[in-house]
Structure 1
């Protein structure tokens, strides 16, 4: 097969790495890719949002399978456009991608399908929302309806904080149209978990689980980020809980979408809170997680290309997902200032010295002389496996010490406290 992977971050690097191991795959292209992906695939200088150009490229190169990494092209309808042209593409339709694109759509669907989630109310009027939060117990969670680069969620410890969050979203429109509607919900307590399922219509199979570290600094301090590290499998989720999540969360949502005439094909990522009453949904994403995918894929023994093709053609009943009986730890190295303002263009040293771990590039590119330099907030991740979380953790940190660039920082506590 000729395969096209869309995106240019760490998630796409690990997907390309895993797809390349498949005997079914002959050639891999990646649009736009990064300096790490360039070593194992042919880069295509097309933006993930340029659906027309990507479709033309896929037709011209006889692409047999396209895998979409980021959410924006999915919400722009890339899957619909590719399918109209007779191309096989892994990911949900524009209508199904609303599950991530609209918090209101997702929450209302969960309510209708009796999927466990936080109690909530939806508002399109600032006055109504303010009056509501004044009558509720604190803390509360205020969420922008639309996409806000992962920053549209505020945990308000007081009424003042809740009102301030509502005003910035609905009046000041800090995230534009994403704040036209808001969701106000109760704050769930417990450890977070990421669960990934391969889905086709009403059929689904659990792909894997992971724990993500969202805050910038050790001890879960500092601002929220896209993710500073992850571990897989999730230490608190066993087979029985996986099955429970599949039956009480994933499948009811898929059936609910089918009833609305929106079959879901692709990977469904459930962000969960493991509460005392059981797993409850925080949010859904309609693509592979980043950096969770970096921690999951090195443990996958099954052929990823075969899994993705089987999902696309609706043959999930025959799918067996096989995993190595090991643990995996992913540590992200970021640019000074991330997730706020940061500088780029710094040379990255020591990449060739890493021996006992994998390095997946995210924000990297080449300078005029062909050297690898930084080009993003999250620059790369070091990923190691071991018999225990502690063994994998030791390996990852030992190898991370070999890499350096000006302003580089990373959390030192990923996977600490397990085993």
Structure 2
């Protein structure tokens, strides 16, 4: 059994692409692990490729053979899609641990109505929601209970026919219901405002271990204007093993009997909105993806070992870096984002000075001369930690200004709104 040291490193494979995958494997590599990536999509390969060995799904449609050849100790998935593949059963039979809940535990993120019913079973406040099979049923729900609704796909996946649409009025909801794809039905969740917060923990060996509380800046533009983007434009993370905002105590710990019942082990994130003074769950996530994953690993003293223990359902002994209590993530967005129907040209990406914090690359590539360019919508994530939130924010903004790309932008108000959670 590996120890997580350089003498006996863990062999870890990440399933994913882009900046979040690059951030995970860089931190684990610096922690002494041997890392590689199974590229699950057809874009955003540059970041993982500069960190180590990669395997493209086009050439390796079933990763199980690679996992055996590389003697992988555990897998980290960046999305839920790993459980929806032709090779999923082969993988589960292999017995290779994965840092993600399986079986019934997987449904807490995958099936939105399942998570609502689970919360009702254990008395956890959940935003009022309805499931409709088609437009007629959806419009009947709106007629019977005329509220503004956030429109979601009933099943969570990057390939879902509906991506989250936030309607802040009844009329907005009525208009959007005419235009969504009802192939898998629709999940209508009452709009509860913008007072949002999140908490991430590990569940392992039948216990909940709190890690961080966080705030994601999901709207495209300063002042929380514009549409909700496909991934956040920035975020703040605070070490929170004591659960100072009580998000875990109120929204995760009541589910502990169920976690034990289904042998849940892996990450769990709750995202909640405070409505009429009470936190209400809007969704759970079971992966270390998006903006928080690499920051959590930076904060842990031995991330490769902690992830291994979680994937293998063992007791955890968390230890954090005292000088990395806060983290700030900023996204440099490219031409046309978040309106991804716009096809951008290939535009140059240049760093004017060396970076002194983490920079993870998204939809960028190099030409034959080694020049970096982007033809996508998300260019990079600039990620910094610090003893204080102000220190982390200052470092992120200082470094993002070193990247030059025509037509790009970033939010300039991280930390000025939505934070701290005590104000929520």
User: 2: distance between equivalents of 1:74 and 1:51?
Assistant: 17
Q: Is the CA contact 1:83–1:89 (under 8 Å) kept in the aligned structure 2? A: no
Q: Label 1:350 to 1:410 Cα distance change in 2 as closer, same or farther (>3 A).
A: same
Which ranges in structure 1 are unaligned for 5 or more consecutive residues?
A: none
User: 1: distance between equivalents of 2:60 and 2:77?
Assistant: 11
Query: 1:332 matched to which residue of 2?
Result: 331
Query: 2:344 matched to which residue of 1?
Result: 343
Query: 1:231 matched to which residue of 2?
Result: 236
Q: Equivalences for 1:121-136 in 2 at 5 Å?
A: 121-136=130-145
Give the Å deviation of 1:386: 3.0
Give the Å deviation of 1:314: 1.6
Give the Å deviation of 1:221: 0.8
Give the Å deviation of 1:342: 3.5
User: 2: distance between equivalents of 1:45 and 1:187?
Assistant: 40
Q: Label 1:86 to 1:186 Cα distance change in 2 as closer, same or farther (>3 A).
A: closer
Give the Å deviation of 1:58: 0.6
Query: 2:251 matched to which residue of 1?
Result: 249
User: 1: distance between equivalents of 2:217 and 2:71?
Assistant: 39
Give the Å deviation of 1:132: 2.7
Question: 1:87 aligned to 2:88?
Answer: no
Moved more, 101-110 or 249-258: 249-258
Query: 1:374 matched to which residue of 2?
Result: 374
Question: 1:39 aligned to 2:41?
Answer: no
Q: Is the CA contact 2:14–2:21 (under 8 Å) kept in the aligned structure 1? A: yes
Question: 1:108 aligned to 2:117?
Answer: yes
SS of 2:56's equivalent in the other structure is coil
SS of 2:404's equivalent in the other structure is coil
Q: Label 1:10 to 1:94 Cα distance change in 2 as closer, same or farther (>3 A).
A: farther
Query: 1:319 matched to which residue of 2?
Result: 317
Give the Å deviation of 1:94: 5.4
Query: 1:168 matched to which residue of 2?
Result: 179
Q: Label 1:43 to 1:148 Cα distance change in 2 as closer, same or farther (>3 A).
A: closer
SS of 2:49's equivalent in the other structure is helix
Query: 2:216 matched to which residue of 1?
Result: 212
Which ranges in structure 2 are unaligned for 5 or more consecutive residues?
A: 1-9
Moved over 6 A (4+): none
Query: 1:199 matched to which residue of 2?
Result: 203
Q: Label 1:22 to 1:205 Cα distance change in 2 as closer, same or farther (>3 A).
A: same
Q: Label 1:322 to 1:365 Cα distance change in 2 as closer, same or farther (>3 A).
A: same
Query: 1:303 matched to which residue of 2?
Result: 302
Give the Å deviation of 1:107: 1.3
SS of 1:338's equivalent in the other structure is coil
Query: 1:30 matched to which residue of 2?
Result: 37
User: 2: distance between equivalents of 1:313 and 1:382?
Assistant: 31
Give the Å deviation of 1:126: 3.6
Output the aligned Cα RMSD.
2.8
Q: Is the CA contact 1:211–1:292 (under 8 Å) kept in the aligned structure 2? A: no
> Please, what TM-score do these two structures have when normalized by structure 1?
0.85
User: 2: distance between equivalents of 1:376 and 1:201?
Assistant: 41
Query: 2:183 matched to which residue of 1?
Result: 177
Give the Å deviation of 1:254: 5.1
Q: Deviations over 1:207-240 (max 9, x none)?
A: 2222111111111111211110111118xx7834
Q: Is the CA contact 2:15–2:75 (under 8 Å) kept in the aligned structure 1? A: yes
User: 2: distance between equivalents of 1:343 and 1:190?
Assistant: 31
Q: Is the CA contact 2:235–2:328 (under 8 Å) kept in the aligned structure 1? A: yes
Q: Deviations over 1:341-369 (max 9, x none)?
A: 24253331117x23322111122223233
SS of 2:215's equivalent in the other structure is strand
User: 2: distance between equivalents of 1:256 and 1:167?
Assistant: 38
User: 1: distance between equivalents of 2:133 and 2:383?
Assistant: 43
SS of 1:88's equivalent in the other structure is coil
Give the Å deviation of 1:28: 1.1
Query: 2:284 matched to which residue of 1?
Result: 284
Moved more, 62-71 or 217-226: 62-71
SS of 1:96's equivalent in the other structure is helix
SS of 1:11's equivalent in the other structure is helix
Q: Is the CA contact 1:11–1:288 (under 8 Å) kept in the aligned structure 2? A: no
User: 2: distance between equivalents of 1:327 and 1:157?
Assistant: 31
Q: Label 1:387 to 1:258 Cα distance change in 2 as closer, same or farther (>3 A).
A: closer
Query: 2:77 matched to which residue of 1?
Result: 68
SS of 1:97's equivalent in the other structure is helix
Which one of the candidate residues 148, 172, 184 is aligned to 1:139? 148
User: 1: distance between equivalents of 2:289 and 2:273?
Assistant: 16
